Structures are given as structure tokens and as C-alpha cells.
Amino acid sequence: MALSLNAAKKLLIFLGKSLLALLKSVVFAFIPKSRKNIAGETILITGSGSGLGRLLALKFAQLGSVVVLWDINQEGNEETCRMVRETGASRVYAYTCDCSRREEVYRVADQVKREVGDVSILVNNAGIVTGKKFLNCPDELMEKSFDVNFKAHLWTYKAFLPAMIAKKHGHLVCISSSAGLVGVNGLADYCASKFAAFGFAESVFVETFVQQQKGIKTTIVCPFFIKTGMFEGCTTGCPLLLPILEPEYAARKILDGILQEKLYVYIPRSLYLIMFFKSILPLRMLLLMADYLGIFYSMDNFSGPKKKD
């Protein structure tokens, strides 16, 4: 009898909390959450030497943040640093770092802690793409994809998360991809690395939740192809539902998601619908939908980043 009462009590508590959570979600669907103030926060962005990382650095700086830039491309990273300073930001620091190398990540992380201080918002943005069919992709390139797109997240979390936990304040941002949600023809190694990054970030979020580390926030970003040059030549079969994203638009949406402390940010919003369909539709219908959206052929004309003369 006592067991039945405890089970009933547990069920009622679950239903009550679930109802409150649902009502809260509905309210925030119509009334956006207020954006948090990040003035004075120290933000570290990997892959900041160009593209999305550079845009995010500029946007964070405009909000009064201390910006730490990491990129393997020293020239590009210094250019980002100069552009950030031109916005009036006085505290911006550029470090050359190969995020695929664990020892180098730890070494440069220690340097940042000494010279700048603890990082409060970590944006794992660095990424590479081979754009080759699985059997045509050299082993070393596949390993490099995992080292940059996924393993680097392990090392940066290990380096900066302990201080966030100690201070009960921090935000972990994983720039995954729509290719971290669905498999894409011609992107086997990239998809695998982005699925891994997504799963890792989600798992660490669950760990912090279970351990009641409420001051540690997580945002996982999954954008479709962005016109940064990384996916040069990629196409979409349905621009209305699945457009190739403008970099400024993508950066703005990502920043909004971070400032509103959203766990998931899918860009465009049609990705939420696509993921819902993936969960419920028969396989044949999913394949027909992928064909209609042009996902099967999106990499056919891929040329990759243009090399500078």
C-alpha cells in the first residue's frame, strides 16, 4: 500500500512539474526570453580567423565582452583582432592554436588563464570539411575531421569547465550542424564528427543538470550550410524551406540563442519540423522528402574554400 502511495505521489509530482514546464515553454514561444547581459564576460571563440567565428567575435565585442580569439591561421586571426578593435573594444586577445592537437589546446588554455583570466563563455566553432565520399576520403583527412570538429571540444571543455563549475557560472556553446542531425550524401566523416559533437555537448548538459550545476548553461547550434566559403558550391533543392544561410543572419540567430540561453538552436527553423518528421515518418517517405529538399545532391558541386592567391 505504501509503495502504491509513493508511486502515485511521484506520478503527481511529475505531472505537475511537466505541466508547469509546458506552460512555461508555451509562454516563451510567444514572448521571447530577455537577453542576458554579457558585458565584461570573457568569451573564447575557436575558429575565429574567418567566417562565422569572426562574425561572432565582432558581435560579442559590440556587447562589451572580453574576446579571446583562437585559430590555427595566425594571419586571419590577427585580422579578426584588428576588426574587433575597430569596433572600440579594448580587450581582445588573439592566440594561434591548432585545436586538433590536445597538448596545444591545454598549453594555450593555460596561457589564456594567466594572461586574460577564466573563460565564462566557450564557443567551440572551429571546423573543417573534406567533402569527399567515404571510400574516397584518405584516412588522415577523416582523422583530422574528428580531431577538429569533435575532439577539440573534449580538450577545451576539460580546460575551461572546471573554473566555470567552481564559480557556478559559465556557458558552453557547441557549433554543430544540420549534418549533425541527419546523414548527408558525401559528408560521412563530417556528419559523424558533428553527430559526435552534438552528443557530447548534450551529454555534458545532462551531467551538469543531474549534478544541479544550474549556473552552467549549454547551447547546441545546428545550422544548415552557411555562405562563409566553407561549403562553397553546395546547393539546396528547396530554398524556401532550406535556404543556404547568409552569414550575418546565422550569426545573429546564434547570438540570440546564446543570450536567451536556449539549449537547441536550429537554423532555419524548418529544421525543427524536419527532425519531427524524421522521428515519425516511414523510411520511404523520409527518403522522398530528402530527395525533394535536394539533400541527396547538395554536395555534388562542392568545391570547398577558395584558396587565396
- Encode pLDDT of 141-154 as tens digits: 999 999 999 999 99
Q: Is the peptide bond before 268 cis (omega within 30 degrees of 0)?
A: yes
Please give the pLDDT value at position 208.
97
DSSP 8-state class, residue 237: S
pLDDT of res. 12:
77
Q: What is the pLDDT of residue 7?
A: 75
pTM value? Answer: 0.91
Residues comprising the chain, all counted: 309
Residue indicated by cell numbers 565564462: 120
What pLDDT is recorded for position 306?
A: 65
* Least confidently predicted of 18-22, 146-150, 210-214, 272-276: 18-22
What's the pLDDT score for residue 92? 97
DSSP-derived letter for residue 297 is G
Residue 50, pLDDT above cutoff 70: yes
Contact 219, 261 (CB under 8 A): yes
Q: Half-sphere exposure of residue 274, counting CA atoms within 13 Å on the CB side?
A: 24
Residues 6+ apart with CB under 8 A from 74: 49, 96
pLDDT at 309: 44
Position 18 pLDDT exceeds 90: no
Average pLDDT over residues 14-35: 73
Q: What is the mean pLDDT of residues 218-245?
A: 94
What whole-number distance in Å separates Cα of residue 261 and Cα of residue 16? Answer: 24
Closest CA to 70 of 90, 49, 84: 49
Mean residue pLDDT of the chain comes to: 92
pLDDT at 220 over 50: yes
Q: What is the dihedral of CA 98, 42, 90, 88, to 10 degrees?
A: 100
Q: CA triplet 67, 73, 78: central angle to 5 degrees?
A: 45
Residue pair 202/153 in contact by the 8 Å Cβ criterion: no
CB contact at 8 A, 83 and 54: yes
pLDDT tens-digit profile of 181-207? 999 999 999 999 999 999 999 999 999
pLDDT interval class at 128 (50, 70, 90): very high
Query: Is 190 assigned a catalytic role?
Result: yes
Which of 95, 157, 190, 266 does the annotation list as catalytic?
A: 190
Residue 227 has pLDDT above 80, yes or no: yes
Cβ atoms 189, 148 nearer than 8 A: no
pLDDT of residue 23: 77
| Region 206-217 average pLDDT | 96
The pLDDT assigned to 307 comes to 58
Task: Report, as an integer, the average pLDDT of 165-171.
Answer: 97
SS3 assignment, position 245: strand
% residues pLDDT > 70 (the chain): 95
Nearest to 181 by CA among 168, 169, 194: 194
pLDDT at position 109 over 80: yes
Q: What residue ranges define each of the domains in the chain, with the CATH number in brackets?
A: 36-297 (3.40.50.720)
Range of lowest pLDDT (11-25, 43-57, 88-102, 240-254)? 11-25
For 136, how many CA atoms within 13 A lie in the half-sphere containing its CB? Answer: 7
